[in-house]
Amino acid sequence: MSKKVAVMDLGTNTFHLLIAEGDVVNHQTLFRITEPVKLGEGGINKGIIQPEPYQRGIVAMQQFQQQILNHGVQHVKAMATSALRNASNGNDFIADVKAATGITIDLISGEEEAGYIYHGVKAGGCLSPQNSLIIDIGGGSVEFILANENEIHWKESFEIGAARLMDKFHQTDPIPAQSINDLDTYLENQLSSLFEAANTYPIHNIIGSSGAFETFAKIIETDKGNFIDLKAIKGYNFDEAEFLSVTNYLIASSHQERVNNEAIAPIRVDMIVVAAILTRFIMNKLGIHVVDLSTNSLKEGVLAAMLA
């Protein structure tokens, strides 16, 4: 039976609303919007949501609730991730949203988040019988899922999101070589369980889940003079040389060069640098040469569960 559902992914940088109708096999997107709330601004590594981003979050949720009413949605699910998981005033925010909009926010664990991301990527048709390493680089956390189209072998969420890494390592622009070395050393220490899992399950490719990887694809295609509609595609296969070239460019770029690049959304102008460094580190460490994009992520995984 067809039903209208709304999914909200309330991340550290962006709040997403997706409204769809239908069933799990055949559904239609009725409305989608991304709001650059920057919930972690000024407090991501202090464990608190500052007053201005707190208020931006409330306003975004009020706008989402209006769209839900406008579309006559029957089933609503709002998922909160790293910023709200770790903020001392995260539960206050959840209570204030409930009071202002009636929306109940579910605070999900990193493990649950990784599971939803897997199901979102799987629903997009980007997995194969070979093992893939799905990477979802959020503002607060990064999820790694080692899986194929049939099963998850291993998954873990790490509190090393782009906003956290930027706060720790990207204080000067362009980012200095020493900061890159320090960041690589930090990742080496943080991700030991990932490297152990990779030794057990040989990895064919990386699948980047939306976010930064969409920006990488957009820069590559824009530089070629092509228009890429990321809302109209489920996946994208990177050419390795082009991928390395675009990450080199981003890592060496100045803030102003990134601002002037029309392919980079304002919300990603600064965090894209550490995202590029993290991805390059994983490629080099694990010897992976094939990188793909899935435009599906957490919200599509939640949608698939709701429509099933």
CATH number at residue 154: 3.30.420.150
Residue pLDDT, tens place only, 137-149: 999 999 999 999 9
State yes or no: cis peptide before 176, omega within 30 of 0: no
Considering only CA atoms, which of 308, 223, 298 is closest in space to residue 7?
298
Please list, in sequence order, all residues whose beta carbon lies within 8 angstroms of the beta carbon of residue 190, skipping any fewer than 6 positions away: 158, 160
Residue pLDDT, tens place only, 156-202: 999 999 999 999 999 999 999 999 999 999 999 999 999 999 999 99
Domain enclosing residue 95, as ranges: 3-108
Considering only CA atoms, which of 287, 223, 228, 230 is closest in space to residue 250?
223
In terms of average pLDDT, the best of 16-25, 80-89, 216-225 is: 216-225
* Concatenated DSSP letters of 188-243: HHHTHHHHHHHHHS---EEEEESHHHHHHHHHHHHHTT----TTS-SEEEPPHHHH
Please check whether residues 142 and 84 belong to one and the same domain. Answer: no
Within a domain: 252 = yes
What's the average model confidence in pLDDT over 276-295? Answer: 98
Within a domain: 119 = no
Q: How confident is the model at residue 1 (pLDDT cuts 50, 70, 90)?
A: low
Q: Is the confidence at residue 85, as pLDDT, over 80?
A: yes
Considering only CA atoms, which of 8, 46, 50, 11 is closest in space to residue 138?
11
What's the average model confidence in pLDDT over 49-63? Answer: 97
Please check whether residues 28 and 159 belong to one and the same domain. Answer: no
CA distances from 158 to 31, 115, 230, 301 (A): 31, 14, 27, 19
Pull the structure tokens for residue 143: 């999820």
What is the spatial distance between Cα 54 and Cα 257, in angstroms, rounded to a whole number? Answer: 30
How high is the pLDDT of residue 54? 97
Within a domain: 156 = yes
- Of the three residues 59, 83, 108, the one that is the final residue of a domain is 108
Burial 25-41 (b: 16+ CB within 10 A, else e): eebeebeeebbebbbbb
Residue pLDDT, tens place only, 203-254: 999 999 999 999 999 999 999 999 999 989 999 999 999 999 999 999 999 9
Give me the number of domains the chain comprises: 2
How high is the pLDDT of residue 308? 79
